[in-house]
């Protein structure tokens, strides 16, 4: 689930987004919040993609959480433009987004961390995300140590927090028979959202 209670519905593509979201929700879309985030690591000249869970849209900020020492953080620092992609197979709709990413303000990250499950926080605290480790049982041991260290479980560590991206481009893609797909684009040109249809 994505918290859309504070989404800015005066932004036209956000209305389309909310409508598709509702349709997918009605079809019980699994992992509706899963979004692929693709980043470019300038020093390696390498693109990487991974799924994250989108947690909120607040005004025009699209927010997920991450370890700040992870590979993706390094990519975001070197190149702040990202591509994001939803695919809801229950309604065969793909939503392609381009935006610019930055760290969410600390107060918001603190608040979010305080309200998470203890178990999730223990993992956020104990894991050096994406670093090599000898075995999965070492992961579990580190996790248990953090979980037992109860007094720190709701205190957000500096190395964990939100990322916000602000989209400047959307494509809403509806899959249809024989590839007669319907595609509608919204993009910011001269500070205004404009829209047009593109070919399948």
Q: Please pick, from the candidates 8, 59, 78, 182, the single residue that binds a copy of itself as defined by CB under 8 A.
A: 182
Nearest one of 97, 101, 79, 102 to 188, comparing CA atoms: 97
Q: Which stretch binds a copy of itself (CB under 8 A): 1-9, 54-62, 128-136, 159-167?
A: 128-136
**Pick from 18, 25, 60, 129: which binds a copy of itself (CB under 8 A)?**
129
- Shortest Cβ distance from residue 57 to a copy of itself (Å)? 19
C-alpha 55/C-alpha 60 separation (Å) is 13
Closest by Cα among 72, 12, 24 to 46:
72
Q: Does the footprint of a copy of itself cover residue 149 (CB under 8 A)?
A: no
**Footprint (CB under 8 A) of a copy of itself, residues 51-70:** 51
Please report how the helices 118-126 and 136-148 are oriented relative to each other, as an axis angle in degrees rounded to 10: 120
In sequence order, the β-bridge partners of residue 47 are 40
Residue 135, interface with a copy of itself (CB under 8 A)? Answer: yes
> What are the residues binding a copy of itself (CB under 8 A)?
30-31, 34, 36, 38-40, 45-51, 79, 81-85, 87, 89, 92, 94, 96, 98, 117, 119-120, 122-124, 127-136, 139-140, 143, 177-180, 182-183, 196-200
């Amino acid at each position: 689930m994505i918290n859309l209670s504070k989404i800015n519905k005066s932004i036209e593509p956000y209305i389309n987004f909310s409508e598709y979201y509702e349709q997918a929700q009605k079809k019980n879309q699994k992992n509706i919040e899963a979004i692929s985030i693709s980043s470019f690591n300038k020093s390696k000249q390498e693109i990487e993609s991974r799924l994250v869970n989108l947690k909120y849209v607040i005004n025009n900020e699209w927010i997920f959480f991450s370890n700040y020492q992870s590979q993706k953080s390094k990519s975001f620092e070197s190149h702040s433009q990202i591509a994001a992609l939803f695919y809801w197979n229950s309604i065969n709709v793909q939503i392609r987004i381009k935006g610019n990413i930055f760290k969410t303000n600390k107060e918001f990250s603190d608040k979010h961390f305080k309200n998470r499950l203890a178990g999730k926080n223990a993992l956020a605290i104990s894991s050096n995300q994406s670093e090599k480790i000898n075995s999965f049982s070492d992961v579990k041991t580190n996790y248990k140590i953090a979980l037992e260290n109860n007094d720190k479980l709701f205190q957000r560590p500096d190395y964990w927090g939100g990322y916000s991206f602000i989209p400047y481009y959307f494509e809403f893609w509806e899959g249809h028979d024989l590839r007669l797909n319907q595609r509608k684009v919204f993009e910011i040109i001269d500070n205004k959202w404009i829209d047009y249809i593109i070919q399948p």
